[in-house]
Amino acid sequence: MIVGGPARSPAGRAVAEAWERRWFNQGVTLAADDAAAHVDSTWDEDIVPVLRDYIRIPNVSVAYDAGWAEAGHMARATELLRDWCQQRADDGLEGATVEVLELEGRTPLLLVDVPPAGGGPADDTVLLYGHLDKQPPFTGWREGLGPWEPVIEGDRLYGRGGADDGYSTFAAITALEAVRAGGGAHARCVVLIEASEESGSPDLPAHLEALGDRLGEPSLVIALDSWCGDWDHLWITTSLRGLVELTVDVEVLTEGVHSGSAGGIVPSSFRILRSLLSRIEDERTGELLVRALHVDIPDHRLRQIAATAPELGDFHTTFPFAGGTQPERPTTEQQLIARTWLPALEVVGIEGAPPPSEAGNVLRPRTAVKLSVRVPPTADPVAAAEALEQRLTDDPPYGANVTVRRGAAEPGWHAPPEEPWLAEAIEAASTAAFGQPPRALGEGGTIPFMGMLGKRFPEAQFVITGVLGPNSNAHGPNEFLHLPTARRVTTAVAHLLDAHARR
């Protein structure tokens, strides 16, 4: 309903609906000042205090906390967001329903179903996506900061999960409110907040199956879990890399032995592991040597990167390099190509070795590492995992016992071409919210949900955006949410919803 319209008695509702249809058909667009004012006041007064409470909850994603259900942190975080959404539904989002969906042995799913407003279509759906689970705390937080204690310094709200991706629930609901506050229109909208994204979304397929056709056939998907190249534009993500996780275990003994007695006779498990990794990665350059990990890069994406790179300047300075460490590639254009369309490997975990302060002179029986391999958007992650496993296990040095356990094998995502109305809407939304035109670029991370939705709704249009800007350091220490950007992204989403309803 339009703010200030007739009372919501049955007769008054009919008059109001006719008023809305007339307003809609005349092409009256969202009042930008009113929408922005609602967003700003809501963030300052109603969101930040609750977001701070959310940061305090250590709801680490399921892959990193086998006892997550017993600990109850995920349930606490979900209930906190559910309560906030329910309050907003009661206070202004007339007709909205708020549910927490539970499946045995699965993390919960928060679902908010909002009926159309302002004369927007009832036979169309917009899906807004985010997640509420968090990465582990990690080490290295600077003095005065920590993962579970929110701290505001200037425009930054520090703490784990504020930017990745706790803000998304608040932004989606507030954007819907802003549409109504600005006299705009939106179609039926479903806000879907999952709780296993940081683990590769293992629980999401089961929830989607349980939902059946409740999501409808979304013509627009807005995901609020991505990055931004700077704080001055609305950034649209055009592609996402996939993810392959493997644990490689090299065993040479059944128990540790004296290194002086065995050294030179028993091969080192670490040396064997090192040689196995050289089969799949050139340690001098970081280039991955398995063909299944590479794809042909579309020409239009290369042109897009070439056009955007000068605006990002020395892109590598957004990362906290230590000492004199230099990036692998010298130019911003090469760096952007590498982080969006080339595969990359990192050893994210090591097992079988004590910390140096506790290490004795022992020839260790085994060394295991967890590998995180980012694969290009259009690569087949299952084929990549199979090729990596074969390369690592064939003919192991010294006949050592080498085992590979597969973890996630998540596909990447490549955006379909934007329809003209959406391209115009993104341009207008960025100008309204940021005062600058939008920018578009691929992202090196993975959002498995996008691949799932791309297959399920092949005709849908996608807008992937977010608040993870320079030095925001999601997954690492000192993660922060840039509050002005969170407000502007929220405002931009309101404009996109209005444009979608009027297309």
Average pLDDT, the chain: 93
Same-domain check for residues 198 and 183: yes
Please say which residue of 357, 387, 409 terminates a domain: 409
Alpha-carbon distance 200 to 244, whole Å?
A: 10
- What range defines the domain where residue 122 resides? 10-240+412-502
Residue 17, pLDDT > 70, answer: no
CB 438 within 8 A of CB 234: yes
Q: Give tens-digit pLDDT for 180-238.
A: 999 999 999 999 999 999 998 999 999 999 999 999 999 999 999 999 999 999 999 99
Alpha-carbon distance 497 to 474, whole Å?
A: 27
**Residue 293: closest CA among 409, 181, 179, 136:** 409
Same-domain check for residues 182 and 252: no
Same-domain check for residues 201 and 298: no
DSSP per position, 10-33 = HHHHHHHHHHHHHHHHTT----HH
Which region, left, alpha or beta, applies to residue 338 given φ > 0 means left and ψ of -120 to 50 means alpha?
A: alpha
Same-domain check for residues 81 and 142: yes
**Residue 2: closest CA among 118, 92, 94, 115:** 118
At residue 456 the predicted structure's pLDDT band, cuts being 50, 70 and 90, is confident
For range 335-355, the mean pLDDT: 97
Pairing, β 97-101 against β 109-114: antiparallel
CATH number at 275 reads 3.30.70.360
The count of other CB atoms within 10 Å of the CB of residue 120 is 23
233 phi/psi in degrees, rounded to 5? -140, 160
Same-domain check for residues 92 and 171: yes
DSSP per position, 227-276 = E-SSSSS-EEEEEE-EEEEEEEEEE--SS-EEHHHHBTTBPPHHHHHHHH
What pLDDT, on the 0 to 100 scale, is given for residue 5? 32
As for how many domains the chain has, the answer is: 2
Same-domain check for residues 426 and 379: no
For range 405-423, the mean pLDDT: 94
Same-domain check for residues 80 and 139: yes
- Expressed in angstroms, the distance from the first to the final Cα of the chain is 20
**Residue 196: closest CA among 275, 106, 128:** 106
5 in a domain, yes or no? Answer: no
Q: Give tens-digit pLDDT for 96-121.
A: 999 999 999 999 999 999 999 999 99
At residue 23 the predicted structure's pLDDT band, cuts being 50, 70 and 90, is very low
pTM: 0.85
440 phi/psi in degrees, rounded to 5? -135, 140
What pLDDT, on the 0 to 100 scale, is given for residue 133? 98
